[in-house]
Amino acid sequence: MDYTRQCLFIDDDADDQDFFCEAVKFIDPAMECFFADDGIQAINKLEDNENFIPDFIFINMNMPRMSGPECLARIAKMEHLAKSRIYMYSSSSNDQLLNEVRTLGAQDLLVKPSSISEMRALLERILS
Amino acid sequence: MSRPDHSISGTPDSFGLQVGEATLGPQLINIFHQAPVAMCVLTGRDLVVTFANSGILEIWGKTSEMVLNKPLFIGLPEAAIQGFKSILEKVFTTGETFIANEMPIDVTTDGVTHHRFVKFIYQAIRDEKENVMGIMVIAEDITQSVTARKYKEANEIRNKLAIEAANMASFEWIFNDSQFIYSERLPQIFGLDPNTKFRQEHFIELIHPEDRDIRDKAIRKAMKTDTLFYEARIIWPDNSIHWIRLSGKVERHNEEAIKMYGMVLDITEQREHAALLKELVQRRTKSLERKNRELQASELRFQRMTEEVEDYAILLLDLDGTILNWNKGAEKIKGYREDEIVGKNITEFYLPRDRRNKLPEKLIRDASVKGRATHEGERIRKDGTVFWGSITITAIHDEDGEVIGFSKVTRDLTERKLAEDQLRQYTAELEFRNQELEQFAYIASHDLQEPLRKIRMFTGMLADNLDNRELVSKYYEKIESSAARMSDLIQSVLNYSRLDKTENKFETIDLNQIVSHVLSDFELLIEEKQAVILCDVLPVLRAIPLQMTQLFSNLIGNALKFCEKEPRITIGCSKADAEMLGSVSQLDVKKEYYRICIKDNGIGFEQKYAEQIFTIFQRLNSKSTYEGTGIGLALCKKIAENHRGNITASSEPGKGAEFCIFLPV
């Protein structure tokens, strides 16, 4: 690929941001990681710069101020992000949630991995 | 010769008497008139009354004008139908004399009929040719003696009948010649053959030795009073004992007792009957007495049975519900003594509203109709206190199936009811707590997953970077931190679950001291942040010390934590007014509460989350910015509720927050 891929990681937990970052670097060192600490920050970031079109957007389910699903809904509506693949992730999943987030516009609902290797495997699948 | 005023007819000649000396004629008539017998002469076939003296006229009840010179049956028509006519005609025809010793004759005088008895001779009178030419009647009115005799005869017959009917024997003992006369019943009475020659001595011999002096006494008395009476036993030849009653009279002639006569009656049967009757009566009486005793004993037993029972009031009621008896249980349950309540109606025990609704009457009616009525409800005791009673009223019937009263059994179920109520409440509470526990067990385990996950991640990363001391150090910290978080979380959860334990005892505590301790715990933080805390005088109240500490610790801690600038915290206390109480849930507007408010100048929050923040694990801020397990405020709420109070929050983002605790006075 001759352009740098970008991903946006929306999570209020700094550690989770780190885990993500580490895993991404491992899979695709060239990928640029962007972070937002909550939904509001993320939307602001996205709305402020229409040229910022992340290839992948990961949204945490449980967040203060703006919940994950709400954030997802808002982002999914942004037309310029139509090509972005949005993923929700949470500590647990079930069919109902899965359907919900899919309806809202996400590709999938991911379960937070418990180890580095799991993380890498997950991202490998998605980012490739 | 002057003739007396009698009726004669004709001259002596026309008489046709064959009298020897004619000179006797008028004198004879005179004699006949004066004869002490009734005489009349009937002449000719027509029986004309040619002579009738006063005697006959008296018998006939007629005057001479009525009968003289008339045919007999004209003047005495009533005689015609009484048989006289045929007799007279026969005498006339046959010339035979007719004699009647006693003949009834009814004569009518002035419309009154007299029944008479006459004795008479009808003699034919012949003429010189021996032909019957008339009849001479000589009569005597024997009415009196006949009547007397007939009366006596009737009496005798009656007596005889009475005697026979009464099985009496009669006797007569003539003193001077020791004659003893008796009816044949007498020997029979003594068990002897009827033909036995019964002697007066038999009386003495056959009387029971023990009763001889009864007879002697009676005889002596009879000699004085002329009345004989005694009852004594006699012994029959077969040695059987019989009873006789002897009654009689002593007859005197010129003061001298000449005879004794009387009657003997066998009264054995009577006596036996009497004895039997007496025995029967005795037996009956004994039986009745025994039955009475049994009844009394049974009543006593019943009384004892019901009286001593303490757990149930057992009463007897009449048809109107009036109380007829009382027992210990009734006294215990309802509080009245027997003398205070017997005679009153069961309505005494009912609440006014039940009395208005006629509940006791309805229960009695139901019992009458269905045989039994049961009810559970409030009743009043003598002292006015209310208890929860279980009542059963049962109808009592007589042999004909008619209701004659009721039995009423009451059980005091207050304790059971209380226990039931408590159990219900406890079960509800338990269910609620279970639900709560389930909920936060789920959430807790969920929330524990997170730090655990991080530990795993970091250990993974650590393993990959063992050579990088910086990274090792960094990851180590992270791991440590997460582990600590887990520990904290577990501790708070434990704390929270311990809040409801009944071991938590209320004590009288001074809140000022509690706050003072909390502030000293936060000394370092206060110093670090240069916080200023102002505190009102707080009350002394009954509370759980540890929980109060946790409460204030959490709230003051939050006030210090969620603050960007130098914290300014005020703790105020006042009494809550009714309006305020009305707006807070779970508070009783009729009670008094303290309102303790902790106001800060921190970051605040959106008022719309004011309720939500007390929900367990609800965090409004990201974890990285403000440390916290998310349990703190939920803990505060629980503590407030444990003390029958509540906690509210109000805030605006950036304008600080105020948390108000309501605690009952």
Distance to chain A for B512, nearest Cα, Å: 36
The C-alpha atoms of residue B337 and residue B268 are separated, in whole angstroms, by 62
Please indicate, yes or no, if residue A109 is contained in any of the structural domains: yes
Distance to chain B for A2, nearest Cα, Å: 30
* pLDDT at residue B349, as a whole number: 92
Residue A112 with chain B: CB contacts under 8 Å: 453
* Amino acid (1-letter code) at residue B604: G
| B148-182: pLDDT as tens digits | 888 888 888 888 777 767 678 888 888 888 788 88
B619/A64 Cβ within 8 A: yes
B44 within 8 A of B10, measured Cβ to Cβ: no
Please indicate, yes or no, if residue A70 is contained in any of the structural domains: yes
DSSP state of B23: T
Residue B473 has pLDDT above 80, yes or no: yes
Q: What is the DSSP string of B134-194?
A: EEEEEEEE-HHHHHHHHHHHHHHHHHHHHHHHTTEEEEEEETTTTEEEE-THHHHHTTS-T
Assess B568–A contact: CB distance below 8 Å, yes or no: no
Higher pLDDT, B552 or B274: B552
| B349-378: pLDDT as tens digits | 999 999 999 999 999 999 999 999 999 999
For an interface test with A, the pick among B443, B448, B453 (most A C-beta atoms closer than 10 Å) comes out as B453
The beta-carbon neighbor of A12 closest among B446, B460, B623 is B623
* pLDDT at residue B502, as a whole number: 63
Q: How many residues does chain B have?
A: 665
Assess B621–A contact: CB distance below 8 Å, yes or no: yes
* Amino acid (1-letter code) at residue B93: T
Domain count of the fold of chain A: 1
**Pick from B587, B575, B576, B597: which is nearest to B515 by CA?**
B597
Please indicate, yes or no, if residue A51 is contained in any of the structural domains: yes
A64/B456 Cβ within 8 A: no
Average pLDDT over residues B636-649: 91
B43 within 8 A of B126, measured Cβ to Cβ: no
The C-alpha atoms of residue A27 and residue A128 are separated, in whole angstroms, by 9
* pLDDT at residue B621, as a whole number: 63
CATH class of B12-147: alpha beta
B37 within 8 A of B139, measured Cβ to Cβ: yes
A38/B622 Cβ within 8 A: yes
Per residue, the 3-state secondary structure of B455-517, as one string, reads HHHHHHHHHHCCCCHHHHHHHHHHHHHHHHHHHHHHHHHHHHHHCCCCCCCCEEEEHHHHHHH
B464/A37 Cβ within 8 A: no
Q: What does DSSP say about strands A6-10 and A56-60: parallel, antiparallel, or unpaired? A: parallel
Question: CA-based diameter of chain A, in Å?
Answer: 39
Residue B308 has pLDDT above 80, yes or no: no
The C-alpha atoms of residue B27 and residue B34 are separated, in whole angstroms, by 10
* Percent of residues, chain B, with pLDDT higher than 70: 92
Q: What is the DSSP string of B500-568?
A: T-TT---EEEEHHHHHHHHHHHTHHHHHHHT-EEEEPPPPEEEE-HHHHHHHHHHHHHHHHHS-SS--E
Q: In what order do the strands lie in the sheet with B241-253?
A: B179-182, B168-174, B256-266, B241-253, B227-235
**B416-498 and B166-266 share a CATH fold:** no
Assess B624–A contact: CB distance below 8 Å, yes or no: yes
Residue A117 with chain B: CB contacts under 8 Å: 460
Residue B191 has pLDDT above 70, yes or no: yes
List Cβ<8 Å contacts ≥24 apart for B352-357: B354/B378
Burial class (CB within 10 angstroms; exposed 0-12, middle 13-18, buried 19+) of A115:
middle
Joined tokens for residue B15: 């008489």
The beta-carbon neighbor of A13 closest among B449, B456, B623 is B623
The beta-carbon neighbor of B620 closest among A64, A92, A115 is A64
The C-alpha atoms of residue B618 and residue B595 are separated, in whole angstroms, by 25
* pLDDT at residue B352, as a whole number: 92
Among 3.30.450.20, 3.40.50.620, 3.30.1300.10, 3.40.50.970, name the CATH number for the domain at B166-266. 3.30.450.20
**Pick from B110, B107, B91: which is nearest to B99 by CA?**
B91
The C-alpha atoms of residue A7 and residue A42 are separated, in whole angstroms, by 12
* pLDDT at residue B14, as a whole number: 45
For an interface test with A, the pick among B442, B478, B480, B622 (most A C-beta atoms closer than 10 Å) comes out as B622
The C-alpha atoms of residue B232 and residue B510 are separated, in whole angstroms, by 114
Beta bridge partners of B396: B405
Distance to chain B for A68, nearest Cα, Å: 13
The C-alpha atoms of residue B32 and residue B53 are separated, in whole angstroms, by 7
Which CATH architecture describes the domain B416-498? Orthogonal Bundle (1.10)
Residue B110 has pLDDT above 70, yes or no: yes
Which CATH architecture describes the domain B501-664? 2-Layer Sandwich (3.30)
| Chain centroid, CA B276 distance in Å | 36
| B422-459: pLDDT as tens digits | 888 888 888 877 877 777 777 667 778 888 888 998 99
For an interface test with B, the pick among A116, A117, A119, A122 (most B C-beta atoms closer than 10 Å) comes out as A116
Q: What is the mean pLDDT of chain B?
A: 85
Among 3.30.450.20, 3.40.50.2000, 3.20.20.10, 3.40.50.720, name the CATH number for the domain at B310-412. 3.30.450.20
Give the pLDDT band of residue B2 (cuts 50, 70, 90): very low
B624/A13 Cβ within 8 A: yes
**Pick from B454, B471, B430, B442: which is nearest to B624 by CA?**
B454
Residue B460 with chain A: CB contacts under 8 Å: 115-117
The C-alpha atoms of residue B278 and residue B393 are separated, in whole angstroms, by 47
Tell me, what CATH number does A96's domain have?
3.40.50.2300
**Pick from B617, B640, B665: which is nearest to B551 by CA?**
B640
The beta-carbon neighbor of A116 closest among B446, B464, B623 is B464
Q: What is the DSSP string of B280-308?
A: HHHHHHHHHHHHHHHHHHHHHHHHHHHHS
Question: CA-based diameter of chain B, in Å?
Answer: 218
The C-alpha atoms of residue B663 and residue A107 are separated, in whole angstroms, by 52
Q: What is the DSSP string of A72-115?
A: HHHHHH-GGGTT-EEEEEES---HHHHHHHHHHT-SEEEEPPSS
Assess B478–A contact: CB distance below 8 Å, yes or no: yes
A91/B622 Cβ within 8 A: no
Residue B456 with chain A: CB contacts under 8 Å: 114-115
A22/B461 Cβ within 8 A: yes
The beta-carbon neighbor of A116 closest among B449, B461, B478 is B461
Record the pTM: 0.42
**Pick from B574, B568, B602: which is nearest to B661 by CA?**
B574
List Cβ<8 Å contacts ≥24 apart for B208-216: B208/B232, B208/B233, B208/B234, B208/B235, B208/B241, B215/B246
* Amino acid (1-letter code) at residue B377: G
A10 within 8 A of A57, measured Cβ to Cβ: yes
Q: In what order do the strands lie in the sheet with B112-126?
A: B48-52, B38-43, B132-141, B112-126, B98-109
The C-alpha atoms of residue B522 and residue B515 are separated, in whole angstroms, by 11
Joined tokens for residue B354: 């039940």
CA angle B178, B182, B187 (to 5 degrees): 115
A116/B460 Cβ within 8 A: yes
Residue A37 with chain B: CB contacts under 8 Å: 622, 624
How many Cβ atoms are within 10 Å of A23's Cβ, its own excluded?
24
Q: What is the mean pLDDT of chain A?
A: 89
Q: Give φ, ψ of B41 to 5 degrees.
A: -120, 130
Please indicate, yes or no, if residue A1 is contained in any of the structural domains: no
Please indicate, yes or no, if residue A47 is contained in any of the structural domains: yes
* pLDDT at residue B626, as a whole number: 62
Residue A13 with chain B: CB contacts under 8 Å: 622-624
ipTM: 0.86
For an interface test with A, the pick among B457, B459, B613 (most A C-beta atoms closer than 10 Å) comes out as B457
B622/A63 Cβ within 8 A: yes
Q: Which domain holds residue A46?
A: 6-127
